[in-house]
Amino acid sequence: MSPAMDISVQHFKLPDYLAKWPWSRTLHPNYDELRGESASWIASLHGYLPQKTLDNYNPCLLACLAYPQRKKELVRLGCDLMYFYLVYDESTDVADDEEITRAEDVVRKVLADPLSLSGSKHFIGKVVKRLREQAGDLVDFKASSNCLDHFIANMNAYTKAIGQEAEERKNKHLRGVEDYLLLRRDTGAARPALALLEFGLELPDSVLYHPVVAELTDITIVLLAIGNDMHSYAYEHASGLDGHNIVTAIMHEHKLDLQDALDWLGVYAEARVHRFLELMSHLPSCDSMTDSNLKIYIDGLGYWVRGNDNWSCEIRRYYGSGGLDVLKTKSFTLKSSK
């Protein structure tokens, strides 16, 4: 093998910042049923994603780890939402500006009016129509429900941010860590997924936007971004898509090599975990029903963080067949061409 084709394999240690996270891996009891239903639905739309991509990603596993104690109808919506993320992410990674703008416009119009014909022939439009109808059914026409509005607003923010990410990727623009996380809060797709936690709980905005609850939600969004970027780094590095990744941002801003950047990330993430657990003792108190439902919401945040970490290692997308070893040893290999 010539020097130009030589492949070096380096081993790196991942930060174990969830060592003290009190929520354990929990899988929804209807996982097999939900996976079958959701997979059949996405296949019925005759999309363009290869079956191998769908299998390697296993969106329903993520939803069933993220919403392990919620009713089946909500988790089914979560499964379908994870499929939407996969479809949207894969398509926008290779789309031009016009195609991305078109997709964003379709999502916005269908969310505003699921009966709109604007997205009826667009694959993404068909997916979003299903999500919007499911979300509407879960609200049960309660006038007090604000969760649907939150879900729609967060979905629109997600697609808009994806367009911004694509523009920056094209221009090879690298952000600093905190600036990166500002955009990543939306490109990470956590906000719409966390909005589903609100469904059925009837939590008023005065509770959801209470400074403590709002900070807990924001910390969760950051931890999900960190977990996703950390586990996807090797995959994105191999695909040349690691420009929009917090690990790259750390290396660029702080002039660190990969292992030092991962260590830096571990310290950063542990501080957020510590803050989250500290805030748990300062939750607002209203009436007994609202307090009970708020606990369900906070547990939902906890399960999302743990579920995302486990899912990232249990699927084949990021580590192939070696993900369970990564989960156990907190180490991975990175192949790079010399």
Q: Which tens digits make up the pLDDT trace of 201-253? A: 999 999 999 999 999 999 999 999 999 999 999 999 988 888 889 999 999 99
d(C-alpha 109, C-alpha 114), whole Å: 8
Per cent of the chain over pLDDT 90 is 73
Domain span holding position 63:
8-337
Q: How confident is the model at residue 7 (pLDDT cuts 50, 70, 90)?
A: very low
pLDDT at residue 119 in the model? 59
User: Does residue 1 lie in a domain region?
Assistant: no
Q: How confident is the model at residue 282 (pLDDT cuts 50, 70, 90)?
A: very high
Q: pLDDT, tens digit, for every residue of 320-335?
A: 999 999 999 999 998 7
Distances (CA, A) of 297 to 135, 162, 194, 196: 17, 27, 9, 10
Which ranges of 67-176 would DSSP assign to H, the alpha helix?
Answer: 72-94, 97-112, 123-139, 147-170
CATH number at residue 179: 1.10.600.10
- Is 50 exceeded by the pLDDT of residue 164? yes
Per cent of the chain over pLDDT 70 is 93
- From the CB of residue 257, how many other CB atoms can be counted at a distance below 10 Å? 10
User: Does residue 333 lie in a domain region?
Assistant: yes
pLDDT at residue 338 in the model? 40
User: Does residue 138 lie in a domain region?
Assistant: yes
- Is 70 exceeded by the pLDDT of residue 2? no
In this prediction the pTM is 0.93
User: Does residue 2 lie in a domain region?
Assistant: no
Q: pLDDT, tens digit, for every residue of 171-212?
A: 888 899 999 999 999 999 999 999 999 999 999 999 999 999
pLDDT at residue 211 in the model? 98
The per-residue DSSP string of 202-247 comes to ---HHHHTSHHHHHHHHHHHHHHHHHHHHHHHHHHHHHT-TTSSHH
Q: pLDDT, tens digit, for every residue of 48-77?
A: 678 888 889 999 999 999 999 999 999 999
What's the domain count of the chain?
1
